[in-house]
Structure 1
Amino acid sequence: MLKTKILLSLFLIVGTLSSCKKDNYNAEKQAKIDDGLIVDFLAKNSIVAVKHSSGLYYQVLNAGSGNEVTASNTVTVNYQGKLLNGVEFDKSTAPVSFSLAGNLIQGWKIGVPLIKKGGKIRLIIPSALAYKNSSPGAGIPENAVLDFTIDLIDVQ
């Protein structure tokens, strides 16, 4: 019985310690890495994009002509999300609506208001404006730069 208690205690201690992830995330260092990856990606794919002061890169494919977008709007969009290696991790199959004030990555909150209703934009989002050093699921690794194409269908 004592051996069982000792083994169980040891197992719990090892399990607890191994589940503690050391957070060595250095935002400044990661921003430089991401920027280099993005600049290289843009050059290799002949994409002309503008760098926003936040570090986000964007390419306005169609500026749109409808209502302007603010942080308090709900937008209806079609979108496709890829990693820089071209692997698609998400795509809308029908128009979806999001509140820009809601639980969205910063890259969307910054990028979507750069176009108007009816517009289309490509956002190359550094990890700091996406999921940082976390992985939200199997399709997106930690520190991932994300490549979104977004059609802005409606603005409410």
Structure 2
Amino acid sequence: MFWGLIIEPGKKYSQTVDSSFHISKATLDLSSATDEDITLLLDYEGQQEYILCHLNKSNKQECLDLNFQAGDSISLFSHGQASVHLSGYLLGDDDDDEMTLGDMMEEEEEDEDEEEDEDVDEEMDIKDLRASLVAKAVKRAQPEKSNGKAQKKAKVEVEQEDDDDEEEAEEEEEPKQPSPKQLSKAQKKKEKKSPKPAGAAPAQQPQKKKEGAPPAAGKPQQQQQQNKNKKQKQKANDKTKADVPKSPAKQTLPGGLVVEDLKVGSGPESKKGDMVAVYYCGKLAKNGKQFDQTNKGPGFKFKLGQGRVIKGWDLGVAGMKVGGKRKLTIPASLAYGAGGAPPQIPPNSTLVFDVELKALN
């Protein structure tokens, strides 16, 4: 559950903690800020004053990681002429906190395992279908006789049944061509029937192609070889496509967080405990109004999975690779909750962040 407090200039906020809470961030109110630095301080148990952070117009936000337990006596105040907004969450009162980051990641891994099992089943179905088509093609193919002498072996290609039927129809319509040996015998008989004077060289007359004459004997074989090469290339392409693993670009994690990969990076992959540096742009999902942005310099740095940012960031940035870009749609329960972070973020706001992972340290 969200926790927040606005520290106004010249005021000291003291209390004995009733419910344990965590302070995550301190943000300078730019509407009241001047050029001077604002110092945020803590008086713990009345023993000593501690400096928490310094804020100014060029450094308007600081991430904090402070836990206060029930019974602690604390005072929060600032030095300067501008207001400071503190935000965080209560510890142990939100039902969503019962699910730890580890539980969420385990559920995500189970979902990925189920998707991999589905991919394996689909691949097995494709292999079974191919085996069935091969068996049918072998059973249907029969040796073809030519003039009672030569027999041609049927060529079996693993293709769809419709393609096989079309090829068989084309082969049946093709006129049978005489073999080179038959042409040679017929030519010898013709020469015997038409004797020529001794010593006379046979005149070579150019052969005129008659209309409707069948094509040369070598062309059908060349065409068949081309068709075979084309089918083998198509088969290799289909196999390559089938072997490409599916990687969903958009998925919904436990808690309602929607993660969409706009660009998959080529660098190292981020994991819990890494110090990450990101560029980001934050907008309200309701009207698209931008409330925060960092796109210059080293970027915004935080330790992943340690609760130093909102839960939606800890979950959504995990698994990104350096150079990658992600769109995170974060529900209020994983962002600033029912209280929001006024004035920029209203209560119960769903937030949209475009995040680019720049580096891992």
What TM-score do you get using the length of structure 1 for normalisation? 0.66
Deviation of residue 68 (structure 1)?
1.3
- 2:277 corresponds, among 65, 68, 76, to 76
CA 1:146–1:27: 2 relative to 1, 3 Å: farther
Q: Does 2:284 match 1:89?
A: no
Change beyond 3 A, Cα 1:63–1:93? closer
Does the Cα contact within 8 Å between 1:55 and 1:126 map onto a contact in 2? yes
SS at structure 2 position matched to 1:154: strand
- Residue type at the aligned position of 2:352: D
TM-fit CA distance, 1:27: 7.3
Distance 1:155 1:57 in 2: 23
**Given the alignment, which residue of 275, 299, 317 partners 1:112?**
317
- Where 2:317 maps in the other structure, the secondary structure is helix
Larger Rg: 2
Aligned-pair CA distance for 1:155? 1.2
Further displaced range: 94-103 or 109-118 = 94-103
How far residue 80 of structure 1 moved from its aligned partner, in angstroms, is 0.1
Q: 1:154 aligned to 2:345?
A: no
Contact 2:261 2:325 in 1 (8 A): yes
1:43-100 alpha-carbon deviations (Å, 9 max, x no partner): xxxxx84211231001101121211111201111110000011100000142221112
The answer as to whether partners of 2:307 and 2:314 remain within 8 angstroms in 1 is no
Please tell me whether residue 50 in structure 1 is matched to residue 251 in structure 2.
Answer: yes
Does the CA contact (< 8 Å) of 1:70 and 1:113 recur in 2? yes
Describe the shift of the 1:126–1:52 C-alpha distance in structure 2 as closer, same or farther (beyond 3 A): same
CA distance in 2, matches of 1:137, 1:69: 31
Report the count of equivalent residues.
Answer: 112
Alignment match, 2:339: 134
Where does residue 61 of structure 1 map in the other structure? 262
**Structure 2: how far apart are the matches of 1:27 and 1:148?**
25
Q: Secondary structure at the match of 1:59?
A: strand
SS at match of 1:114: coil
Q: Equivalents in 1 of 2:255, 2:307: separation in Å?
A: 19
- Given the alignment of the two structures, is residue 99 of structure 1 paired with residue 303 of structure 2, yes or no? yes
Point out 4+ residue stretches in structure 1 off by more than 3 angstroms.
none
The answer to which of 51-60 and 78-87 deviates more is 51-60
Shift of 1:102: 4.3
* Superposed displacement of residue 153, structure 1: 0.3
Amino acid at match of 1:92: T
Q: What residue number does 2:330 align with? A: 125
Provide the residue aligned with 2:134 in structure 1.
Answer: none
CA RMSD of aligned residues (A): 2.0
Q: Tell me, what secondary structure is at the counterpart of 2:318?
A: helix
**Contact 2:270-2:360 at 8 Å conserved across structures:** yes
**Equivalent residues of 1:27, 1:128 under 8 A apart:** no
Q: CA deviation at 1:132?
A: 0.8
Q: Residue type of the partner of 1:142?
A: P
| Residues 276 and 359, structure 2, Cα contact 8 Å, conserved in 1 | yes
CA contact 1:105–1:129 (8 Å) conserved in 2: yes
Unaligned 5+ segments in structure 1 are: 1-25, 29-47
TM-score by length of structure 2 reads 0.30
